[in-house]
């Protein structure tokens, strides 16, 4: 029993030192539970952190609160991400002419994980009448942090639906990176005589080929070797 306990403690300490498994699984819950200093969570081999949210409206007082936005993790192998669901709505026949939500967060690939080579943005549950419009504009910094994105690369995505045109999906492909900082602006506007609504916005972060596994193999061999030594010593 003591041998098994010692081996378990050894393995756990090695995993902590390498940074593997340091974040809990991202929950399916409302966005307010993702906010707050120090929060991070994981989906497959990616860690999500630095969540920031603000909601506004015209006139003021009708912005969507973080507690009304449902976050659903997308666990598709090689293409994880988030689905954000809420009842964004604006209409000239109501008191709300515009609703705007700004969502920000950072995606990091865990040590040994596959680099991100593609990001996508899409929306669903979209409707408009007259001069109404729905727009989601996203700015992503590859390899650094917004707003400066110093040393990184800026990528811009946009989806929209109105009388001027429709684009429900957008994506960008790039050389593999291990960090993406995201700034997403969701806007539904009634215009001068119309309405607009939106229920779903989706982000996914596709992964390319995994990095050279040699270091992972060496790490595993080292752990097994140390475990063997410890077992022999404890059995003496």
The predicted model gives 83-97 an average pLDDT of 97
Q: How confident is the model over 159-176, as pLDDT tens digits? A: 999 999 999 999 999 999
At 208 the pLDDT is 85
d(CA 210, CA 179): 15
The predicted model gives 177-186 an average pLDDT of 98
Contact by Cβ (8 Å): 167, 158 = yes
d(CA 200, CA 215): 40
d(CA 123, CA 84): 9
Contact by Cβ (8 Å): 149, 109 = no
Q: Quick one: what percent of the chain has pLDDT higher than 70?
A: 78
**SS3 at position 211:** coil
With 50 as the cut, is the pLDDT of residue 218 above it? no
Mean pLDDT for all residues in the chain: 86
Question: Across the beta sheet with 46-58, what order do the strands follow?
Answer: 24-25, 40-43, 46-58, 98-109, 179-189, 133-142, 153-162, 165-167
At 107 the pLDDT is 98
Q: Which position has the higher pLDDT, 111 or 213?
A: 111
Tokens of 157: 């995505």
d(CA 54, CA 11): 41
Please report, for residues 103, 168, 174, 186, the alpha-carbon distance to residue 54 in angstroms, rounded to integers and kept in the order given: 7, 23, 29, 11
At 69 the pLDDT is 98
Assess whether the previous peptide bond of 181 is cis (omega < 30° from 0).
Answer: no
With 80 as the cut, is the pLDDT of residue 195 above it? yes
Tokens of 236: 């003496």
At 2 the pLDDT is 53
**SS3 at position 122:** strand
> 214-235 and 2-18 are packed helices; what angle lies between their axes, rounded to 10 degrees?
150
Burial state string for 87-104 with b = 16 or more CB within 10 A and e = fewer than 16 = ebbbbbeeebbbbbbebb
Let me know the angle formed at the C-alpha of 56 by 50 and 59, rounded to the nearest 5 degrees: 175
The predicted model gives 205-214 an average pLDDT of 66
The predicted model gives 137-160 an average pLDDT of 97
At 201 the pLDDT is 98
């Amino acid at each position: 029993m003591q041998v098994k306990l010692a081996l378990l403690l050894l393995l756990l300490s090695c995993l902590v030192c390498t940074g593997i498994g340091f974040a809990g699984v991202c929950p399916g819950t409302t966005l307010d539970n993702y906010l707050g200093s120090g929060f991070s969570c994981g989906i497959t081999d990616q860690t999500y952190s630095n969540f920031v949210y603000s909601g506004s409206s015209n006139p003021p007082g009708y912005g969507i609160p973080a507690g009304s936005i449902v976050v659903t993790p997308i666990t598709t192998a090689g293409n994880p991400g988030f689905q954000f669901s809420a009842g964004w709505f604006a209409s000239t026949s109501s008191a709300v002419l515009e609703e705007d939500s700004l969502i920000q967060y950072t995606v990091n690939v865990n040590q040994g994980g596959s680099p991100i080579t593609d990001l996508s943005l899409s929306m669903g549950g979209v409707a408009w009448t007259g001069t109404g419009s729905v727009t989601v504009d996203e700015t992503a910094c590859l390899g650094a942090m917004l707003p400066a994105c110093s040393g990184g690369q800026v990528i811009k995505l946009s989806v929209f639906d109105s009388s001027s045109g429709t684009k429900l999906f957008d994506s960008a492909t790039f050389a593999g990176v291990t960090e993406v900082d995201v700034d997403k602006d969701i806007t539904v506007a009634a215009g001068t005589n119309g309405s607009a609504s939106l229920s779903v916005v989706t982000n996914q972060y596709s992964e390319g080929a995994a990095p050279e596994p040699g270091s992972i193999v060496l790490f595993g061999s080292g752990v097994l070797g140390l475990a063997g030594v410890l077992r022999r010593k404890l059995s003496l």
